[in-house]
Structure 1
Amino acid sequence: MKLTPSRSIMRGNSSPPASAQLCYENVTGSCVKTPYSPGPRLILYTVFASGAVLAVFGNLLVMTSILHFKQLHSPTNLLIASLACADFLVGVALMPFSMVSFCTFHTCCDAAFCYSSLFHLCFISIDRYIAVTDPLVYPTKFTVSVSGICIGVSWILPLAYSGAVFYTGAYDDGLEELSSALNCVGGCQVVVNQDWVLIDFLLFFIPTIVMIILYSNIFLVARKQAKRIETIGGKTESSSNSYKSRVAKRERKAAKTLGITVIAFMISWLPYSIDSVIDAFVGFITPAYIYEICCWCAYYNSAMNPLIYALFYPWFRKAIRLIVNGQIFKDNSSSVNLFSEQI
């Protein structure tokens, strides 16, 4: 992984200072290396490498758990597995490498995986809203086929949008001179014009608002359900009421965990989204280290989700133990019961 070159604008054909160290000494138009001392460089690479490893192996465990164990083959978990796939690709294709030889491809994948994660989370919030507000009817409304459609949309639309924007060159219309000035051999500096920056921000902002509204309603409904259960707690419950309360409790717990996932996503991506909008309107003057921090805060979200699942999902911790111990290679391992309670 190469650190992002300086984002300061080079005017005309001015050459770098003689004392500057170039990325490629014998190549005309080489980028100037960002001067990091050995100590901070070691810390940066350690943090970056840890995030990449966690994103790759953590999300690989999530995908393996859900796809292997039959008990986890639910519409919600299939969406989670697909979300983990997007995060896994961030860890494999974006975090370890700067991909400077394939700058357009790297940037396209960067945007596509971000929007794919966002779309997955938005569909998961809709799934959780239906599950909590109407848990008994939910299985007939959000089926595996509906989940498959949501997964398809979450992948196809981001890939099509990112490919159309970055491979047609529409993103830097009117900024061709600035783009040429900023780009150099050994760097990957993409400038996006104000129109596309605003569109990108809206594509982030609107689904985020939808998720906030849905999860706010989810927790309001969950609070009412909890009070109702407390009210009838001292009374003799019928088997039907007992079943309903247990189903509602399970769905509320799942909604809480996925709500934390959504909050983590917003916290991770908000600095980068805000910086992108501001930068486009003030001449791309964000210092390299600030831009680097914003990018890696966003990337690190892909490493956070497996940690959230491990903290709040007992079935995930049990699945990890079975995978690490090699138990999944035994006959009928896919039928192992991962849940401590039956409903």
Structure 2
Amino acid sequence: MSSTSSPLAAAQLCYENVNGSCVKTAYSSGPQVILYTVFGFGALLAMFGNLLVMISILHFKQLHSPTNFLIASLACADFLVGVTVMPFSMVRTVESCWYFGQSFCTFHTCCDVAFCYSSLFHLCFISIDRYIAVTDPLVYPTKFTVSVAGISISLSWVLPLTYSGAVFYTGASNDGLEELSSSLNCVGGCQAVVSQNWVSIHFLSFFIPTLIMIILYGNIFLVARQQAKKIENTGSKTESSSDSYKSRVAKRERKAAKTLGITVIAFMVSWLPYSIDSLIDAFMGFITPAYVYEICCWCAYYNSAMNPLIYALFYPWFRKAIKVIVSGQVFKNSSANMNLFSEQM
């Protein structure tokens, strides 16, 4: 991003009177306003959009299902990215300086990694949920219960938080790179230096769940296509009530799988540039220009703001829930039992 701006000074420092201060890339007021507007909008959308998703699912009893509880927990992870990561990264990107101290830098890095991996794990469990729902819709309620969803949610939080804290708070991430870390992290900088071994583990932690999701959603859409053809071929025949019910259930599950499949694709598209850049950078001596790194980071961060937009576009119940929440009707005693579905399938 620095290539598109006009530096005001060649060698401004983040801290003018501090030895070892990082060099600051100063922007003119125009680019600064644009960048703060773009990044600030993303942070606000991640916060309030995901907050609406959580309130909708937790408040309205009609939305209490294992899949929706997973979606609400996913929204919580994205909400925390909007609260604890994006605002501070915005200042770091625009000012090219870290003004929040080294301790908070470590905390910020841990939150960044933990919440993003939490989102990935949630999406992986959601893909498993959708696979069972589409391939065996009538048995699905007995297989993926609320308790199973609870275990999935717990794993999606505990594993990333434990992993992130263990890697960054113990200093394991930069084993063997202490000198490079000291030279890169001047006063006013917050750059995580991760060794090749840990970068490889990070990449595999991203690649393996992503591969699982691709395989599952590939099978989901093959099964959905077969089901659609079967329904089309039997459409002219008189269906029994049992067959009709199966058709409605299958149609509903396919529609949910399609929407959540779009969410998974959006996640992969957003995070793939950052994951590939991190892997290449670690093996090439951290040569990625700062503006390229920041672009990759913000592509990934913006994913946390995209999911509520996807739900609003494809879920009529979410649009209706937003109207109820924003209008204040949510405070009525009877609102929790409100019907959010225009048609029951």
Q: TM-score, structure 2 length as denominator?
A: 0.93
State which of 322, 334, 337 in structure 1 corresponds to 2:336. 334
Paired-residue identity, %: 82
Q: Which residue identity is paired with 2:77?
A: A
SS in 1 for 2:56: helix
Task: Tell me the residue number matched to 1:229.
Answer: 231
1:231-272 residue CA offsets vs partner (Å, 9 max, x unmatched): 111111111111110110000000000000000000000000
Task: Tell me the residue number matched to 1:170.
Answer: 172
State which of 197, 200, 204 in structure 2 corresponds to 1:198. 200
SS in 1 for 2:277: helix
State which of 320, 323, 329 in structure 2 corresponds to 1:321. 323
Distance 1:197 1:42 in 2: 34
Distance 2:154 2:336 in 1: 25
1:115-171 residue CA offsets vs partner (Å, 9 max, x unmatched): 100000000000000000000000000000000000000000000000110111110
Task: Tell me the residue number matched to 1:61.
Answer: 52
1:215-294 equivalences under 5 Å are 215-294=217-296
Distance 2:228 2:10 in 1: 68
SS in 2 for 1:97: helix
Stretch deviating more after TM superposition (205-214 or 97-106): 97-106
Distance 1:290 1:192 in 2: 17
Distance 2:66 2:73 in 1: 11
Quote how far apart the aligned CAs of 1:19 are. 4.8
State which of 19, 22, 28 in structure 2 corresponds to 1:37. 28
Task: Tell me the residue number matched to 1:123.
Answer: 125
Task: Tell me the residue number matched to 2:138.
Answer: 136
Q: Which residue identity is paired with 2:55?
A: T
Distance 1:19 1:76 in 2: 53
1:58-84 residue CA offsets vs partner (Å, 9 max, x unmatched): 000000000000000000000000000
Aligned alpha-carbon RMSD (Å)? 1.3
Task: Tell me the residue number matched to 1:153.
Answer: 155
State which of 84, 91, 114 in structure 2 corresponds to 1:93. 84
Distance 1:331 1:105 in 2: 40
Quote how far apart the aligned CAs of 1:40 are. 2.2
1:195-254 residue CA offsets vs partner (Å, 9 max, x unmatched): 000000000000000000000000000000000000111111111111110110000000
Q: Which residue identity is paired with 2:194?
A: V
1:9-24 equivalences under 5 Å are 19-24=10-15
Quote how far apart the aligned CAs of 1:53 are. 0.5
SS in 2 for 1:284: coil
Distance 2:64 2:125 in 1: 17
- Give unmatched runs, 5+ long, in structure 1: 5-17
State which of 80, 84, 87 in structure 1 corresponds to 2:75. 84
Task: Tell me the residue number matched to 1:10.
Answer: none
Quote how far apart the aligned CAs of 1:28 are. 1.8
Task: Tell me the residue number matched to 1:9.
Answer: none
Q: Which residue identity is paired with 1:182?
A: L
Task: Tell me the residue number matched to 2:94.
Answer: none
Quote how far apart the aligned CAs of 1:110 are. 0.6
SS in 2 for 1:332: helix
Distance 2:146 2:29 in 1: 51
SS in 2 for 1:254: helix
1:8-29 residue CA offsets vs partner (Å, 9 max, x unmatched): xxxxxxxxxx951011111222
Task: Tell me the residue number matched to 2:16.
Answer: 25
Q: Which residue identity is paired with 1:25?
A: E
1:79-129 residue CA offsets vs partner (Å, 9 max, x unmatched): 000000000000000000147421111111111011100000000000000
SS in 2 for 1:28: coil
Structure 1 segments (4+ residues) deviating >4 Å: none
Stretch deviating more after TM superposition (295-304 or 21-30): 21-30
Distance 1:19 1:329 in 2: 56
